Amino acid sequence: MILKNDPQPRPSLDAEQSKKSSLGLVLGLAALLGLAAVAAWRLQRLETEMEQFSRQVEQAEEKSNEALLRASQAEASAQQAAQQRDQAARAKTQFQQAAQAATQQAETAQAQAVKAQQEAQQYRQQREAELARLQQALNQIAETRRTAMGLIMTLDNNSIRFDFDKADVKPQYREVLSRIAGVLTALKGFRIDVDGYADDVGSEEYNLRLSERRAAAVRDYLVQAGLDPSILSTNGYGKADPRVSGKSVDARAANRRVEIAIVDSTVGSAAAVDSDH
């Protein structure tokens, strides 16, 4: 006899519903886990992005600070450049003013130099004319020649004769000195050098002293005749620079002499003016 299997018992409705609920819970939990994973991934990504953003912000701040620093430096450089431009402008103005003042001074100096040169030329012409008149007047008394500094008048045996080994001026020759003093009294701006000489007889030292005494004798008489002693000086040259060569009596008499040098004391200053211009 064939036995029939008993049919499987069907789960009850509550078990199925419980199973479905469990499955739903599992699926819901899985979904939540998935959502949580997605949220965690998004959160991590967001944190990464925030870190990147923070770094970008920091870099931007650094660049901003660098830009601010460069701007500050540029502003300081601009201010310094402006100060330098102002200083250069002031220096240029001062230089222009100084150049203008120098130009004016140079023009004034040039005008003064031209005026001084003209005055010096005019003065020289007047002095030349005065020396020419003086030479003409003195030539009538004794031989007088022109020099670069003035005149030299020679008192040799043709005008004043000095005896051998003597220094005194004989009375007959004093009139000659009085005439010379009369001509020279009106001089202005001249000095007078009285130079004595001797012949070649005797020692050099003795003749030097003799020539000095002769010059002093003539100087003293000119002072007595009215010349200012402050413009007179004497020199003795002994037997140096003989006027006539030879050892004859006439030659030695000619060399026993006194020369009066009339020197224009303003020639040196006038020459200095010419050399400067």
Q: Tens digit of pLDDT for each residue in 143-160?
A: 999 998 999 999 988 888
Residues 6+ apart with CB under 8 A from 225: 177, 178, 181, 182
6 band by pLDDT with thresholds 50, 70 and 90: low
125 band by pLDDT with thresholds 50, 70 and 90: confident
The whole-chain average pLDDT of the chain stands at: 85
Q: What average pLDDT score do residues 119-142 get?
A: 89
Residues 6+ apart with CB under 8 A from 193: 233, 234, 235, 260, 261, 263
141-275 under CATH 3.30.1330.60, yes or no: yes
Gap between the terminal Cα atoms of the chain = 171
Using CA atoms, how far apart are residues 202 and 147, in angstroms rounded to an integer? 31
Q: What average pLDDT score do residues 235-239 get?
A: 95
SS3 132: helix
* Residue burial 68-87, b: 16+ Cβ < 10 Å; e: rest: eeeeeeeeeeeeeeeeeeee
| pLDDT at site 8 | 56
Q: Domain spans of the chain? A: 45-127, 141-275
Residue 269 has pLDDT above 60, yes or no: no
Q: What average pLDDT score do residues 62-87 get?
A: 84
